[in-house]
Amino acid sequence: MDYRELSTPALTVDLDVLERNLDRYAELCRRQGVGLRPHTKTHKALEVARMQLERGAVGLTVAKVGEAEVFAGAGLDDILVAFPIFGGEKLRRLADIARQRRLLVALDAEATAQELSRAAAAQGATIGVLVEFDVGVRRCGLEPGPELVRLARTIEKLPGLKFRGLMSYFGNVWGTPEERRAEATRVAERVEKALAAFRAENLAVEIVSGGSTPSAEFAHLIPGLTEIRPGTYVYNDLNTYYQGACTLDDCAVRVVATVVSTAVPGRAVIDAGSKTLSSDLLGSGPKSGYGYVVEAPDAPIVKLNEEHGLLDITHSQHGFKVGEVVTVIPNHVCAAVNMHDEIFTVRKGEAAGCWRVAARGKIR
Amino acid sequence: MDYRELSTPALTVDLDVLERNLDRYAELCRRQGVGLRPHTKTHKALEVARMQLERGAVGLTVAKVGEAEVFAGAGLDDILVAFPIFGGEKLRRLADIARQRRLLVALDAEATAQELSRAAAAQGATIGVLVEFDVGVRRCGLEPGPELVRLARTIEKLPGLKFRGLMSYFGNVWGTPEERRAEATRVAERVEKALAAFRAENLAVEIVSGGSTPSAEFAHLIPGLTEIRPGTYVYNDLNTYYQGACTLDDCAVRVVATVVSTAVPGRAVIDAGSKTLSSDLLGSGPKSGYGYVVEAPDAPIVKLNEEHGLLDITHSQHGFKVGEVVTVIPNHVCAAVNMHDEIFTVRKGEAAGCWRVAARGKIR
């Protein structure tokens, strides 16, 4: 069956494109001499995680304990929780995973380390810890310098914990290829500053984990980086496209939607709104619109209500008709995927199957 | 257990506030002489739908077939699908519901009516149809006037369908109480124009369905309105608050979150990001920020990543500490609820139980 005959709205992934993206980044990391620990937040699917590990990923990244449980529960190993988990119930579950799988947790505060230590020790588990530092995102992470070493020393003394290295998120590497390259050199300076602090104190840093999709091609510019954690690269999206980090053909995920109304002049309405595409705005390129209509790029999606997508067709050459099927590339694929319980696989335009978005909704 | 001890992030609803909101709108509708057919998109929970029906709601509203299945499957009756459904698979399911429950479907195109008729006739079902018209939202719906009557006449001739009346969404009634009242009078003119076209042709209009939460108090200004379809009123949110249509105390839903990082100066990070609160922007009041931190209103949530909420604490008097619990009122509660598989009920500050967000993710 042609995938455009799926009941709409339907989240779909082109398997040829997905496999090409996976191969490309596996090769990109090999060439740059860094490990690939993909962030699973983009796909949240066991099938894709397995494809990543089969292609040589050194492990997986998640943000929440519930996500770690999904992947660990399916037998996948070496999982980094790249989020400072706090709260007894979650930490107990985390320690439980650590008794069965290799687990790393990132944090940036002594209070968090102490809570984690208590939970690990109570269950006789050992949890590897990465100390998070900030390369300019201004989200989490300590300033590169002696503070980092102090926290690492504290962690070394806490039962149930093992200091393994450093983590940072390179979210500030964003924009055109030139902007991204320039920011990557600034990131490199901050990573070097962090590492210098550890060298000065003679403390070994086994893992230096960084990255994101837009920074992945600049990994070789960052000194001492041992692994990167891109997520979006598996599927790509409009944000990646407008940064020049992929082509539209590299966007593996499309939402199949039906035109349901053309009653209002200058408008076509599709059955995919914010509960299908997410409300995430475009952070690159034109920074407007809620997705790219493949069949009619001249018809911007100017507004989303919960279930309605509103296309401005005033300047479109495309004759929109009620009942017509269109396909939409989302602004931010991680947010769009998170709206769906399943993703339909497509091979050469034919509907091939369906994967569960198994870690969707695992916010705790 | 104090509800602030729930594992975070947790979506919670204060039952006293919910019941008060339900009572208030039941009374508001009675006083204005209009039926209440609440839109379930806000809560997506069987428990709340039952509370609405117990308080005299004339039926329920949904947007998608999958949502209708959830409520119909639980024995709830008289459901309006306020969305122009198109596509064979969905229409077959719709006709299946219609064989067992009273069902209304809104549409604005002959093509949609024909598809619906085919599906209904094939299963020997009869589906009531409301013709959608536009009062100024510019989303779906025909222009008030003879076009509406033409479509109604077509529907009357189609097997399996029964023309029951008109539907419109009053989404343009938005803003301050004065702005909303002024817009409601313009809506009234357009509703009257639609009804006049039917009177001119001697065609009876049994149901005139309109409304939204911000327009609910002005229902009495709209001639001929038989029912309204507010959704948000059950929980309320910042959008409702900044329009002066509720107080902060009327906001029944709060997201309990934990401060997980204060490492970056001027920042506090909570464990509730866009996958917990949604990325929906504020459409009223300051039109900035991603939620209201009850414990520290002087600390705006300036950015959401998927799992991180970033508070600007530069001008806050509140001393944020890692591990501290805060509660957040969302911008747009319908979008926030849709992120969650369950909502935790709270009575007098104590965690009371948990409801499934049963219709979450039912996008088809």
Chain A residues with CB under 8 Å of B261 CB are: 84, 108-109, 132, 139-141
* B181 CB burial (10 A radius; 0-12, 13-18, 19+): middle
Closest to A47 measured CA to CA, from A90, A76, A83, A27: A76
- Reported as a pLDDT band with limits 50, 70 and 90, residue A271 is very high
Say if the Cβ atoms of B323 and A86 lie within 8 Å.
yes
CATH number of B3-10+244-356: 2.40.37.20
Say if the Cβ atoms of A142 and B263 lie within 8 Å.
yes
d(CA A312, CA B331): 26
Residues B329-352: tens digit of each pLDDT: 999 999 999 999 999 999 999 999
Q: CA distances (Å), B153 to each of B148, B203, B219, in order?
A: 9, 9, 28
Interface residue of A2, A4, A7, A328 to substitute, partner B, most B CBs within 10 Å: A7
Q: Which long-range contacts (CB under 8 A, 24 or more apart) does B344-350 make?
A: B344/B3, B344/B6, B344/B10, B344/B11, B344/B12, B344/B13, B345/B12, B345/B13, B345/B15, B346/B3, B346/B12, B346/B13, B346/B14, B346/B15, B347/B14, B347/B15, B347/B16, B348/B16, B349/B2, B349/B3, B350/B1, B350/B2, B350/B3
For A200-268, the DSSP string reads HTT----EEEE--TTTGGGGGGSTT--EE---GGGT--HHHHHTTSS-GGG--EEEEEEEEE--STTEE
Chain A residues with CB under 8 Å of B281 CB are: 279
- Reported as a pLDDT band with limits 50, 70 and 90, residue A129 is very high
Considering only CB atoms, A41 lies closest to which of B85, B142, B306, namely: B306
Model pLDDT, residue A212: 97
Chain A residues with CB under 8 Å of B343 CB are: none
Partners of B14 in beta bridges: B346
Model pLDDT, residue B117: 98
d(CA B291, CA A115): 28
Model pLDDT, residue A139: 98
Q: In the predicted model, what is the mean pLDDT of chain A? A: 98
Mean local confidence (pLDDT), A100-118: 98
Residue matched to tokens 């690492």: A152
Q: Is A43 on the interface with B (CB under 8 A)?
A: no
Residue matched to tokens 């067709």: A313
Closest to A363 measured CA to CA, from B81, B46, B86, B337: B337
Task: Considering only CA atoms, give the Rg of chain A.
Answer: 22
Say if the Cβ atoms of B139 and A261 lie within 8 Å.
yes
Q: Min CA distance, A110 vs chain B (Å)?
A: 9
Model pLDDT, residue A13: 99
Closest to B130 measured CA to CA, from B118, B142, B146: B142
Q: Min CA distance, A205 vs chain B (Å)?
A: 20
First to last CA, chain B: 38
Q: Min CA distance, A296 vs chain B (Å)?
A: 19
Closest to B256 measured CA to CA, from B336, B335, B319, B313: B336
Say if the Cβ atoms of A7 and B90 lie within 8 Å.
yes
Say if the Cβ atoms of A86 and B7 lie within 8 Å.
no
Say if the Cβ atoms of B269 and A139 lie within 8 Å.
yes
Mean local confidence (pLDDT), B206-214: 97
Residues 286-315 of A with CB under 8 A from B: 305-308, 310
Residues B91-118: tens digit of each pLDDT: 999 999 999 999 999 999 999 999 999 9
Closest to A9 measured CA to CA, from A229, A208, A291: A291
Residues B16-37: tens digit of each pLDDT: 999 999 999 999 999 999 999 9
Q: Is A51 helix (H, G, I), strand (E, B) or coil?
A: helix
Element (H or E) spanning B118, and its range?
helix B110-122
User: Chain B: residue nearest A41 by CA?
Assistant: B306
Residues B290-317: tens digit of each pLDDT: 999 999 999 999 999 999 999 999 999 9
Residues 105-164 of B with CB under 8 A from A: 108-109, 111-112, 115, 132, 134, 138-143
Mean local confidence (pLDDT), B157-171: 98
Q: Min CA distance, A344 vs chain B (Å)?
A: 14
Domains B3-10+244-356 and B16-235 share a fold: no
Q: Min CA distance, B178 vs chain A (Å)?
A: 24
CB A249 within 8 A of CB A218: no
User: Chain A: residue nearest B305 by CA?
Assistant: A139
Cis peptide leading into residue B9 (ω within 30°):
yes
Q: Is B268 helix (H, G, I), strand (E, B) or coil?
A: strand
CATH number of B16-235: 3.20.20.10
Which percentage of chain A shows pLDDT scores above 70? 100
Which percentage of chain B shows pLDDT scores above 70? 100
Q: Which sequence spans correspond to the domains of chain A? A: 3-10+244-356, 15-234
Say if the Cβ atoms of B134 and A264 lie within 8 Å.
yes
- Reported as a pLDDT band with limits 50, 70 and 90, residue B250 is very high
Mean local confidence (pLDDT), A124-138: 98
CATH superfamily of A15-234: Alanine racemase (3.20.20.10)
- Region at B274 (left for phi over 0; alpha for psi -120 to 50; beta for the rest): alpha
d(CA B31, CA B27): 6
Mean local confidence (pLDDT), B190-198: 98
The number of beta carbons lying within 10 Å of the beta carbon of residue A201 is 13
Q: Min CA distance, B182 vs chain A (Å)?
A: 23
Q: Is B274 on the interface with A (CB under 8 A)?
A: yes
A35 phi/psi in degrees, rounded to 5 = -75, 155
Mean local confidence (pLDDT), B267-277: 98
Model pLDDT, residue B205: 98
Considering only CB atoms, A267 lies closest to which of B111, B138, B310, namely: B138
Residues A196-215: tens digit of each pLDDT: 999 999 999 999 999 999 99
Mean local confidence (pLDDT), B209-224: 97
Beta carbon pairs, A and B, within 8 Å: 188
Residues 17-36 of A with CB under 8 A from B: none
Residues B47-80: tens digit of each pLDDT: 999 999 999 999 999 999 999 999 999 999 999 9
CB B61 within 8 A of CB B39: yes
Say if the Cβ atoms of A308 and B139 lie within 8 Å.
yes
Q: Is A172 on the interface with B (CB under 8 A)?
A: no
Mean local confidence (pLDDT), A249-272: 98
Interface residue of B12, B43, B64, B86 to substitute, partner A, most A CBs within 10 Å: B86
Chain A residues with CB under 8 Å of B338 CB are: 275, 306, 339
Record the pTM: 0.97
Partners of B258 in beta bridges: B325
Considering only CB atoms, A139 lies closest to which of B280, B305, B361, namely: B305
